[in-house]
Amino acid sequence: MSSLIIFPTVKGANLEGRRFTLPADLEGELNVLLIPFQRWHQEIVNTWIPPLHTLCARYPALRYYELPILPAMNPLSRMGIDFGMRMGIPDRAARAATITLYLDKDDFRRRLAIPDESTVTVMAVTRAGDIHWRTTGGWRDDASHALATLLQLHTNAATV
């Protein structure tokens, strides 16, 4: 089931330097996007990583990405921030799955109906930008169940 809101086309680069146009360049048939707005949101994002590793092993068509949302700024400032983040993430796979987006944060939130920057927004999105599921905050049992159900339905639909 798709919502009326479509993930907007945005450009960014992961912490390994690869450029992306999202959502088209997402690599999964279904992609979980962890969207933090504040530096302290990393603790919330980290609650999702182990369960998402498990789900990706179970559902090969699933990928996940962390999309830190930062305000638009000049290229030199972006390089400094990206360098700092890259140095803070020793795991190459984690750096590859982190795509920094420098954009008009208010416009981005408005387009995705995200009311504020108080917590992490999590979405399951296709490469076409269809949002099939969303929640906020850290990993919870109800989020786990809802996402697993969606993945099972998505997998069954793909095999029909």
- The answer to whether residue 138 scores a pLDDT higher than 70 is yes
| Beta-ladder partners of 101 | 69
Domains in the chain with CATH codes: 10-159 (3.40.30.10)
Collect contacts of 17-20 with beta carbons under 8 A, ≥24 apart: 18/96, 20/99
Q: Each residue of 7-56: pLDDT tens digit?
A: 999 999 999 999 999 999 999 999 999 999 999 999 999 999 999 999 99
CB 22 within 8 A of CB 12: yes
pTM for this one? Answer: 0.91
Give the residue among 72, 68, 105, 102 at the shortest CA–CA distance from 86: 68
